[in-house]
């Protein structure tokens, strides 16, 4: 499938955002160009060729962009962008072979929107427009599944224009008629004249980034929805994620995921060293490192930079931080030999909680939290353990802490085995 | 694709193997019926319907067998098995639609043979016949890719008849001619008269189980080749597997994989308890349990009973056995507090060796030993650790043992991270 991207706009309205005259589609939001997101999602959902209509003034910038990410692209030059975006579409005519996607270069969409929209027909509209300014948005009046009116100032409308279309080459006939009879042709005129079919895709995140406020809003949304979810414990959901996503939305354009992983690791080891001197302070620092531990993943997902290696490294380092902290507590409290088995069981159980879920994924190829939703309610995940450890550190009850950890973690492993067994029993 | 299975033979020659008059195809080798293996491999390689020609006397038994495993089957009754197996083939004529596989019910094949043979044409022959008695085997004389002679007593031949064919319905014309002109028609007569094309598939395991000796030989082969391989350490390859496969070939028909897992776990925990009383003896018992730890997987693979759950359970239990043994050594030697971090690092490092490889599989969906063959040469896998522990136990050098384990295991984890990083660097 092909996609036509309209990117010939002059972008005058957004000069405050683009100091160096960057075309709006190449503006970065949460660490990635707006267009990069759209292209990535389109490609994942079956588009294998992009036809981009650009203003000659920005051609070099777009070429560099496409070369950097190696998307398959054909450029169409529009030397008269003042003739409107309907004219831009018309220029793509010769390169389009069959049914195609038409999308604006400067609209942000979440992946689920693209996935659903690409299977529909005509102009994709949204009855809700959750994330947009309805004053500024383009509205659509619909009658019997067809566009009858389209524009910003409509009073009587059913939905918002998302700037996303699934079209057939027939649209070029209408475009040609209009282009040959007048100078300036907007896309909305073609849409109206063709009486395009309308398809609803409601409630997803999509927006046209126009102001610095839009940019901040978009960044925040992208980071918030970059939380992985499956496997997050109670403390993560109630406390850690609220703070970490807030921090991530500040850092997403400044820090790489691997830098965040490294920083959190150092902070975790540091918290263990501090615990050797002052147990409560060490505990608090440990909890802080646990909160910040979410940042690497959030930044990676929000900026479409996830890597298996990153997740792998983060997991292994987390185990070492947990071990170091318990080792420091052991050293600080110097328990008698008779208590040592309990200390060892707490250390061993802590790593086994992760081992038993990761080994499940290695064996079954899927997440145990997805396969067995009841797993979510089992206490003992890392965020919960760290929080518990902090609490006991604050009150300096280290013996009791080791006892509870020794029981809680190993019990959780046994329950994980039982859940896993019950889940597979119905398969064979 | 369809497969015709000739199973109407009277089986008189094998009465010593089948006391209760079981047809030979339903005879169990390494815990599974001969026919079950063939059907499983055929199904995995594209066959979705089986046409089985049976003797009415055994129809019930075959029906029970097919119901038990829910293969898709159509039966053809041959009330005159004395008319030969060529006649049996002829009876399947009406049910065969297109190109089909023809195979004998009483031949054992390894999976790789089936996979390769199914893509070839005509009579599949083997120039080597590694596992068969060449006196007893059916030989084939070939001229320009065609059968010219076939029989047991041939002196001048190029290959052995494997009993596996990939045919087109045209073969039924030749069968019909022969059947209408004479009473007894052997398959070999049809093959010769049709001048079937010959395809070579050389060197794999396949055999016709005729005697109790054949049965033992087949069982041994199936267990030997059921070793998983990837991830086996030095001690496994040199010592453990040689003993465990020998034991497995005795147990494969008597013990289930999960029973073996459970027994080995108990033996491992027992070895830790014994170490509390006598360290060298505990060490030896621990090494014995490590050897026997291979049995569950070998039995499971040899009897086509592998389950993800079984592998998962075995892994988690192994971690607990390792932990219990080191905990016993710690208790027995009662080290001073200052040495405790070393003990903890040894315990933690031991589980992290497994964690780092299993977490890799969870993240990348493939085995790190397959992705990074150099990993094989990294010391510190379980079989190697257990052997090392036994050696140090024999000489009662527990402090040195903990020191070495603490360094060796954690160093291995760091190297695993480095290997994993280098492996993915070339992908992005």
Query: Could you tell me the residue ranges of all domains in chain B?
Result: 2-222, 227-425
Q: Scanning the structure block, which residue is given the tokens 């079989």? A: B383
Its sign, for the CA torsion B284, B289, B293, B299, is positive
Answer whether B138's CB lies under 8 Å from B188's CB.
Answer: yes
Q: What is the pLDDT of residue A19?
A: 54
**pLDDT for A172 beyond 90:** yes
The whole-number pLDDT of residue A170 equals: 93
Measure the CA–CA gap between A318 and A298, rounded to whole angstroms: 16
**What six digits make up the tokens of B28?**
């169990």
Separation between Cα atoms, residue A424 and residue A427, nearest integer Å? 5
CB neighbours (10 Å) of residue A151?
14
**Which residues in chain B touch residue A309, judged by CB atoms under 8 angstroms apart?**
363, 420-421, 424
Q: Rounded CA gap, A173 and A247, in Å?
A: 51
Q: Which of B188, B134, B136 is nearest to B159 (CA)?
A: B134
Identify the band that residue A136 occupies on the pLDDT scale cut at 50, 70 and 90: confident
Q: Do A309 and B420 touch (CB under 8 A)?
A: yes
> What integer pLDDT is reported at residue A428 of this predicted model?
46
Higher pLDDT, A23 or A351: A351
How far, in Å, CA of A338 to CA of A342, rounded?
Answer: 8
The per-residue pLDDT for range B275-312, each reduced to its tens digit, is: 999 999 999 999 999 999 999 999 999 999 888 999 99
- Which residues of A touch chain B, with CB atoms under 8 Å apart? 307-309, 311-313, 315-316, 319-320, 323, 327, 330-331, 334, 337, 340-341, 343-345, 347-348, 351-352, 354-356, 358-365, 413, 417, 420-421, 424, 428
**Does A364 contact B340 at a Cβ distance shorter than 8 Å?**
no
Q: Give the residue with greater pLDDT, A331 vs A232.
A: A331
Give the pLDDT mean for A44-57.
92
| Top-confidence residue, B406 or A223 | B406
Report the CATH fold assignment for B2-222.
Spore Coat Polysaccharide Biosynthesis Protein SpsA; Chain A (3.90.550)
Q: In sequence order, which ranges of B252-339 are alpha helices (DSSP H)?
A: 257-277, 279-292, 295-302, 308-333
B365 vs A363: CB contact, 8 Å cut-off? no
Residue A413, pLDDT > 60, answer yes
Question: Would you give the distance in Å from CA A322 to the centre of its chain?
Answer: 28
How close B393 gets to chain A, by Cα (Å)? 20
Residue scoring higher pLDDT (A266 or B188): A266
> Which of A330, A334, A361 lies at the smallest CB-CB distance from B362?
A361
Q: pLDDT per residue over A57-101, tens digit each?
A: 888 889 999 998 888 899 999 988 889 899 999 999 999 999 999
Choose among A287, A284, A282, A260: nearest CA to A271: A282
If residue B256 lies in a helix (H) or strand (E), which one and from where to where?
Answer: none
Contact check, Cβ <8 Å, A362/B364: no
The confidence score (pLDDT) of residue A280 equals: 97
What is the nearest CA distance from B355 to chain A, expressed in angstroms?
6
Which residues in chain A are contacts of B351 at CB distance < 8 A? 348, 351-352, 355
Question: Contact at 8 Å (CB) between B342 and B406?
Answer: yes
Low-confidence residues in chain B, pLDDT < 70:
10-20, 229, 426-428
Across the interface, whether the CB atoms of B307 and A348 are under 8 A apart is answered: no
Q: Which of A311, A327, A330, A340 to mutate to test the interface with B (most CBs of B within 10 A)?
A: A340
Q: Is the model's pLDDT at A330 over the cut of 80?
A: yes
Dist CA B80 CA A169 (whole Å): 68
Query: CATH fold of A227-425, please?
Result: 1.20.120
> Which DSSP string do the residues of B54-98 spell out, in sequence order?
E-GGGHHHHHHHHHHHT--EEEEE-S-GGG-HHHHHHHTGGG--S
- Whether residue B355 and residue A355 make contact (CB cut-off 8 A), yes or no, is yes
pLDDT at B428: 47
Q: H helices within B104-233, ranges in order? A: 111-117, 171-181, 187-194, 212-224
SS (H, E, C) chain A: CEEEEEECCCCHHHCCCCCCCCCHHHCEECCEEHHHHHHHHHHHCCCCEEEEEECHHHHHHHHHHHHHHCCCEEEEECCCHHHCHHHHHHHCHHHCCCCEEEEECCEEECHHHHHHHCCCCEEEEECCCCCCCCCCCCEEEEECCEEEEEECCCCCCCEEEEEEEEECCCHHHHHHHHHHHCCCCCHHHHHHHHCCEEEECCCCCEEECCCHHHHHHHHHHHHHCCCCCCCCCHHHHHHHHHHHHHHHHHHCCCCCHHHHHHHHHHHHHHHHHHHHHCHHHHHHHHHHHHHHCCHHHHHHHHCCCCCHHHHHHHHHHHHHHHHHHHHHHHHHHCCCHHHHHHHHHHHHHHHHHHHHHHHHHHHHCCCHHHHCHHHHHCCCCHHHHHHHHHHHHHCCCHHHHHHHHHHHHHHHHHHHHHHHHHHHHCCC
User: Is the pLDDT at A305 greater than 50, yes or no?
Assistant: yes
* Pick from A90, A37, A88, A29: nearest CA to A58: A88
Residues of A in contact with B330 (CB under 8 A): 340, 344
CA distance A358 to B290: 23
Interface of B with A (CB under 8 A): 307-309, 311-313, 315-316, 319-320, 323, 327, 330-331, 334, 337, 340-341, 343-345, 347-348, 351-352, 354-356, 358-365, 413, 417, 420-421, 424, 428
Q: In which band, very low, low, confident or very high, does the pLDDT at A51 lie, cut at 50, 70 and 90?
A: very high
Q: Is the pLDDT of residue A224 over 90?
A: no
CB pairs A-B closer than 8 Å: 116
A359: nearest CB among B358, B424, B428: B358
A interface mutation test: which of B265, B276, B309 has the most A CBs within 10 A? B309
Please determine, for residue A103, whether its predicted confidence score (pLDDT) is greater than 70.
yes
Q: How far is residue A7's CA from residue A136's CA, in Å, rounded to a whole number? A: 20
C-beta separation of B63 from B23 below 8 A? no
At residue B312, the 3 state secondary structure works out as helix
Q: Are A192 and A123 in contact (CB under 8 A)?
A: no
Q: Residue A232 and residue A370: Cα distance in Å, rounded?
A: 12
Chain A residues closer than 8 Å to B344 by CB: 323, 327, 330, 343-344, 347
What was the pLDDT predicted at B426? 65
Mind telling me how many Å the CA of A275 is from chain B's nearest CA?
A: 15
Q: Residue A420 is nearest to which of B312, B421, B424, comparing CB atoms?
A: B312
**Closest chain B residue by Cα to residue A321:** B348
**How many Å from the N-terminal Cα to the C-terminal Cα in chain A?**
40
Query: Rounded distance, CA B132 to CA B401, Å?
Result: 49
Distance of alpha carbon A10 from alpha carbon A82, whole angstroms: 8
Give how far the C-alpha of residue A35 lies from the chain's centroid of Cα atoms, to the nearest Å: 15
The pTM for the full model equals: 0.86
């Amino acid at each position: 499938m092909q996609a036509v991207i309209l990117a010939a706009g002059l972008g005058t309205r957004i000069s405050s955002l683009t100091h160096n005259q960057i075309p709006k589609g190449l503006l970065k939001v949460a660490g990635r160009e707006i267009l990069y997101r759209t292209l990535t999602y389109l490609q994942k959902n079956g588009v294998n060729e992009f036809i981009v209509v650009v203003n000659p003034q920005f051609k070099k910038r777009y070429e560099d962009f496409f070369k950097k990410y190696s998307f398959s692209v054909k450029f169409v030059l529009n030397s008269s962008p003042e003739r409107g975006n309907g004219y831009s579409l018309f220029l793509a005519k010769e390169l389009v072979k069959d049914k195609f996607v038409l999308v604006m270069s400067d609209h942000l969409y979440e992946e689920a929107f693209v996935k659903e929209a690409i299977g529909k027909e005509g102009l994709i509209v949204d009855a809700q427009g959750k994330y947009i300014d309805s004053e500024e948005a383009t509205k659509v009046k619909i009658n019997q599944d067809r566009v009858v009116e389209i524009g910003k100032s409509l009073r009587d409308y059913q939905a918002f224009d998302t700037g996303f279309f699934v079209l057939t080459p027939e649209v070029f006939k209408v475009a040609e008629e209009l282009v040959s009879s007048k100078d300036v042709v907007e896309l909305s005129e073609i849409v109206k004249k063709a009486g395009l079919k309308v398809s609803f895709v409601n409630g997803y995140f999509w927006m046209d980034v126009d102001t610095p406020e839009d940019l901040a809003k978009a960044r925040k949304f992208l980071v918030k929805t970059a939380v992985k979810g499956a496997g997050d414990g109670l403390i993560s959901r109630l406390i850690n994620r609220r703070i970490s996503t807030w921090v991530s939305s500040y850092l997403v354009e400044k820090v790489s995921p691997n830098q965040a992983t490294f920083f959190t690791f150092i902070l975790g080891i540091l918290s263990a060293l501090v615990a050797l001197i002052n147990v409560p302070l060490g505990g608090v620092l440990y909890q802080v490192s646990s909160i910040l531990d979410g940042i690497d993943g959030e930044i990676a997902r929000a900026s479409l930079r996830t890597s298996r290696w990153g997740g792998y490294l983060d997991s292994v380092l987390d185990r070492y931080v947990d071990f170091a902290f318990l080792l420091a507590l052991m050293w600080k409290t110097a328990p008698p030999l008779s208590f040592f088995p309990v200390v060892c069981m707490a250390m061993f159980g802590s790593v086994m909680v992760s081992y038993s879920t990761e080994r499940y994924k290695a064996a079954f190829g899927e997440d145990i939290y997805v396969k067995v939703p009841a797993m979510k309610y089992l206490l003992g995940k890392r965020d919960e353990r760290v929080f518990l450890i902090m609490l006991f550190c604050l009150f300096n009850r280290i013996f009791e802490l080791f006892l509870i950890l020794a029981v809680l973690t190993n019990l959780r492993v046994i329950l994980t085995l039982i859940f896993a067994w019950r889940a597979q029993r119905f398969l064979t």
